[in-house]
Structure 1
């Protein structure tokens, strides 16, 4: 690992409650360590990247069993970015200032 990346092993299995995992991601982002993308192996080895300019992010683990394109388009239009899948669940994030936004499908 370089000084600009950190790896964490089995995070969605170590922190099983989605709400607690979302808070963990948000806490890491406040420290400047940001999840940029989730790939097929992210549930095993999760990589965070150092960002000096990291905005405050709200992360959300999508509770929908069967997400669809139309609903995903609504999320994207509302400012949410799809980061990919983590242990079978889609993860979204949105930068914000002020009050922490609610996820549309919670």
Structure 2
């Protein structure tokens, strides 16, 4: 992968994961799995908000001198339940669709959620 090429060129890499792994892209590199963290306010019921990727990020960047690439692998907007992936205080456009049954929401409410 490109990350392995960067490592070979002397640029350190770090893969911070809030999803289901890297599917081989980050094998053999520095990896931090954060999707099973228990940070109050960011994690509940075995799932973390993508914001968990930012926790302690500055310290991780400073941990190794020189050039560094950090990949933040987000849970992101996969699937119809995006409304569950960010806290209510980050809702910018309202009202939002708050169900995985998108057929029961207006187009505008779906757009607002994303």
- TM normalised by structure 1 equals 0.27
Larger Rg: 2
Instruction: Compare the two structures and name the one with the higher helix fraction.
Output: 2
